[in-house]
Chain A
Amino acid sequence: MPLKKIKEFCIEKTIYLSGITSIIFVVLIFVFLAREGFSLFKRVSVFDFLLGQDWYPISEPAKFGILPMILGSLAVTLGATLISVPLGIASAVYIAEVASPRIKEILKTGIEILAAIPSVVIGFIGMTTLVPFSKNALNLPTGLTAFSGSVTLAFMAIPTIVSIAEDALTAVPVKYKEAALALGATRWQSIRRVILPAASSGIMAAIMLGIGRVIGETMAVMMVTGNAAQIPQSLFVPVRTLTATIAAEMGETVQGSDHYFALFAIGIVLFIITFIINLIADWAVHRRFK
């Protein structure tokens, strides 16, 4: 075999290997989470772990119930979804269908900047502005609440929702809109009755990915929600999310302790939740193209 052929062979093999690394990494992530996380389930049942109401990881005897954190994540996610979905989709429609090309570019740049701001910076600003503001305006004992977390996270989900929903709206064939307009529909009627339904799968994907972003967000939420591991009775009390628990406590654990394993077990829960959300989003996107 000439040298050139060998070189080409090597390059192709390298490319092939690189191509499948993504699969390897996903598997590795799961394996390494499971390796540590499953050790917990030798001592605590999965049932007690997921539905236990007490999280006292270092007391004697230790309790590893993550229900308060699951509900904390849920509360924050629900709040963030309620804010970000209507705002995000409305902005996407405005950018895709209403705004003039110049305004469109400016708005898109604004959304891109929002997407680029590091979560720790958003958390920092939330901490210094939103937290004291909501404490005073709503007359709460503390501004570090699920509500603050929801608002902060809504702004982190919005860029995801806007950009994917906008793509979906733009992907609707122009002739759909033209047909509606030719039939005498106003622009709003054509958006509402033709374009939005046609883009619904893509918008669904946008919402799912936005929710995925919210559930997985760590730093910002940790800085504004107060981190109290209690079952939330409303949106206006401190909560602690699954992600914040890992980030806040991993530094203090002893490697190989039950507490350490429990944090990895929380990682497994997060991994599975986001995995399912991404599958749904992917399914929604592919349905669109059928």
Chain B
Amino acid sequence: MNHNPYRTEKIAFTILFFATVLVVLPVILIVLIIIQKGWSIISWEFLTAMPKMGMREGGIFPAILGTIYLVLGTLFFALPLGVLSAIYLTEYAKDNVLTRLVKLAIINLAGVPSVVYGLFGLGIFVMFLKFGASILAGSLTLAIMVLPIIITTSKEALDSVPKSFREVSLSLGASQWQTIRYSVLPHALPGILTGIILAISRAAGETAPILFTVAAFYLPKLPESIFDQVMALPYHLYVMSTQVPNVAENLRYGTALVLLVMVLSMNFLAIVVRSKFRKKKKW
């Protein structure tokens, strides 16, 4: 058998290369198609006006605002809970069954399908606690969904702070909380921030968890309290592309573009924060 390992290597690497291109190229195509077809409708009016004519004309302002409200609500609940939970795991938890269970629970929360979060939110917040379909119910549902993201990234950030930082602080007589507060958290902050931004981006883009907990099909007025329903960008895109006939193409692509820009700009922000942090790291 004529066997040349270097030729095999060349063939193998070429195949690997094309597989990677096949993965990355569609990403570029998706983004380009959406920009190209959605760009024409983007205007001040599109971004700040109410939808008109059963969503076939006008803007998408209530959906944008609704998504912003939902993201803020999600952060309000998930941010403290997630970061504190990560602090517990890195600083307090002992290596025992409880800790193992907590870790398993986090992995499981990360794997629960988004539509099941929707069911859960409907069952507990909308029905059982009687919040109704509302910003409050939607935010709580999204908060539980993004919790694993915040915990995992924050934990990683806290873990990367060297042990000696803690030892020095403790040896100077600081209490454990003082040590965490002044010697650990400041160094982990950029990493935690990255996780929070990624969680925001996820919350802004999810549709299934808000389907039955907050999203309104068509609601051309702004919410007045946290017990009101809102429109949301991802649901609006879904509705316009499957439920409403005869919507102009650029209106749909325009909505997709706004959603994509919102989500991707947050991801880029996360990448920037992370790389700045990596460069600055002195230990």
Contact = CB atoms under 8 A, between A and B. Distances in A.
A121 to B, nearest CB: 5
B207 interface: yes
Given A32-B128, A88-B23, A95-B20, A120 B238 contact: yes
B205 A119 contact: yes
A203 to B, nearest CB: 15
B267 A116 contact: yes
Interface stretch (A60-68, A172-180, A185-193): A185-193
Contacts, number: 260
Nearest to A20: B102
A223 B16 contact: no
Interface string A20-31: 111101101100
B105 A32 contact: no
Interface of A: 8, 11-12, 14-16, 18-23, 25-26, 28-29, 32-33, 35-36, 86-88, 90-91, 93-95, 98-99, 107, 109-114, 116-125, 127-129, 155, 158, 162, 185-189, 191-192, 209, 212, 215-219, 223, 243, 246-247, 250-251, 255, 263-264, 267, 270-271, 274-275, 277-279, 281-282
Interface of B: 5-6, 8-9, 12-13, 15-17, 19-20, 22-24, 26-28, 30-31, 33-34, 80-81, 84-85, 87-89, 91-93, 98, 101-102, 104-120, 122-124, 127-128, 144, 147-148, 151, 175-177, 201, 204-208, 211-212, 234-235, 237-238, 241-242, 252, 256, 259-260, 263-264, 267, 271
28 contacts: A8-B175, A15-B92, A22-B148, A25-B109, A26-B108, A29-B112, A33-B116, A33-B119, A87-B22, A109-B271, A111-B27, A113-B267, A116-B205, A116-B264, A119-B206, A120-B205, A121-B30, A125-B34, A127-B241, A186-B8, A216-B111, A217-B113, A218-B113, A264-B123, A267-B115, A274-B108, A275-B111, A281-B107
